[in-house]
């Protein structure tokens, strides 16, 4: 399988390297990548235009910052649709707005292009290791066709429904993680104020039904040891939570707890800078503003 990767930043460069390491032929396009020499050394061919990339690729991976950019890259002038060849599949690994993903998928109806959304987690480390977790939205046959590429990029993948369901599931995941981080931050403060050993308390929690990814992974890896070096920034988390807020608003269901957590995350921008680790929200106290 020949692969094209558009967007060679922290995640996309790692994916291109993982695909090349797995023996796939890889072409990349990103006018502002900082990984050009590492990519060339690994045999990734860098090209200046989407037309050149498209001429080479059976599957086109997108790893882009926002849905606006994804729409422009796929549907805009000189973009993927304009240069499409029969049977090509676009795999959008960006964390994106599900409504935008549906718009793209409708615009591609009847075209030569297939579209699958596959947002990822695990951060740049997992992208480089080819061990990301991917939530897939799309037709089962398209996902089967992508198998050699998905094998190279992922350690775990879950097919969660039709096109855009992957992007929705990713927003639910990050919303629940965001709510949990605030709740665990409160538990840590209460334990400390009560003179309890938080590590021992969390050992207990992790043996029970209050456990979560935050208590089992984030706490020991990045929070309790003060490392705060997960590689996932406040800026990216706030982007994901803004998208989650839009998803909740469109749904119109009652979500008082989510709304309050989203407000706390938004307000925290006054004291927690965009380049801070997202786990820092556990230290955020509203009274300090």
CB 116 within 8 A of CB 88: no
Q: Given candidates 16, 26, 44, 64, which one binds ligand NAD under the rule CB under 6 A?
A: 64
Give the Cα separation of 57 and 51 in Å (integer).
10
Tokens 């992007």, residue located:
167
Closest to ligand NAD by CB, 1 vs 62, is 62
Q: Given candidates 61, 90, 120, 188, which one binds ligand NAD under the rule CB under 6 A?
A: 120
Closest to ligand NAD by CB, 159 vs 242, is 242
Nearest residue (beta carbon) to ligand NAD: 9
Give the Cα separation of 80 and 88 in Å (integer).
10
Give the Cα separation of 101 and 35 in Å (integer).
28
Neighbour tally for 101: CB within 10 Å: 26
**SS3 state at 107:** helix
Minimum gap (Å) between residue 154 Cβ and ligand NAD: 12
Per-residue x/- track, 124-143, ligand NAD (CB under 6 A): x-------------------
Structure tokens at 280: 């820092």
What is the Cβ-side half-sphere exposure of residue 254, based on CA atoms within 13 angstroms? 0
Minimum gap (Å) between residue 247 Cβ and ligand NAD: 15
Minimum gap (Å) between residue 221 Cβ and ligand NAD: 14
Contact segment (CB under 6 A) with ligand NAD among 9-17, 110-118, 211-219, 246-254 equals 9-17
Closest to ligand NAD by CB, 10 vs 105, is 10
Nearest to 2 by CA among 52, 40, 41, 37: 52
Q: Say whether residue 97 binds ligand NAD (CB under 6 A).
A: no
Q: Say whether residue 51 binds ligand NAD (CB under 6 A).
A: no
Q: CA torsion 271→273→279→283, rounded to 10°?
A: -20
Number of residues located near ligand NAD, criterion CB under 6 A: 25
CB 161 within 8 A of CB 28: no
Q: Say whether residue 33 binds ligand NAD (CB under 6 A).
A: yes
Structure tokens at 116: 């699958």
Minimum gap (Å) between residue 93 Cβ and ligand NAD: 6
Contact segment (CB under 6 A) with ligand NAD among 7-15, 157-165, 195-203, 241-249 equals 7-15
Closest to ligand NAD by CB, 57 vs 188, is 57
Q: Say whether residue 69 binds ligand NAD (CB under 6 A).
A: yes
CB 183 within 8 A of CB 281: no
Neighbour tally for 137: CB within 10 Å: 27
Structure tokens at 159: 């097919």
Q: Say whether residue 63 binds ligand NAD (CB under 6 A).
A: yes
Minimum gap (Å) between residue 243 Cβ and ligand NAD: 9
220 to 259, contacts with ligand NAD by CB under 6 A?
231-232, 236
Give the Cα separation of 210 and 173 in Å (integer).
17
Which residues of the chain form contacts with ligand NAD (CB under 6 A)?
6-12, 29-30, 32-33, 63-65, 69, 73, 94-95, 120-121, 123-124, 231-232, 236
């Amino acid at each position: 399988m020949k692969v094209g990767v558009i967007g060679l930043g922290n995640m996309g460069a790692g994916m291109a390297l993982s695909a090349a390491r797995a023996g796939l032929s890889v072409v990349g396009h990103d006018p502002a990548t900082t990984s050009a020499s590492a990519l060339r050394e690994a045999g990734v061919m860098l090209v200046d235009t989407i037309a050149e990339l498209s001429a080479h690729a059976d599957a086109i991976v997108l790893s882009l910052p926002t849905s606006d950019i994804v729409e422009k890259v796929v549907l805009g002038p000189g973009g993927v649709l304009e240069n499409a060849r029969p049977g090509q599949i676009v795999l959008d690994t960006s964390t994106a707005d599900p409504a935008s993903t549906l718009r793209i998928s409708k615009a591609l109806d009847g075209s030569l292009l297939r579209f699958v959304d596959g947002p990822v987690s695990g951060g740049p480390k997992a992208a480089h290791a080819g061990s990301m977790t991917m939530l897939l939205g799309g037709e089962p046959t398209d996902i089967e066709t992508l198998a050699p590429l998905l094998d190279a990029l992922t350690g775990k993948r879950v097919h969660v429904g039709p096109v855009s369901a992957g992007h929705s599931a990713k927003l639910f995941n990050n919303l629940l993680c965001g709510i949990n981080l605030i709740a665990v931050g409160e538990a840590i403060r209460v334990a400390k104020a009560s003179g309890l050993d938080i590590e021992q308390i969390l050992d207990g929690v992790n043996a029970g039904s209050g456990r979560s990814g935050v208590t089992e992974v984030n706490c020991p890896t990045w929070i309790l040891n003060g490392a705060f070096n997960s590689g996932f920034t406040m800026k990216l988390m706030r982007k994901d939570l803004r998208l989650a807020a839009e998803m909740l608003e469109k749904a119109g269901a009652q979500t008082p707890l989510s709304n309050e957590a989203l407000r706390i995350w938004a307000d925290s921008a006054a004291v927690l800078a965009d380049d801070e680790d997202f786990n820092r929200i556990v230290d955020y106290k509203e009274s300090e503003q």
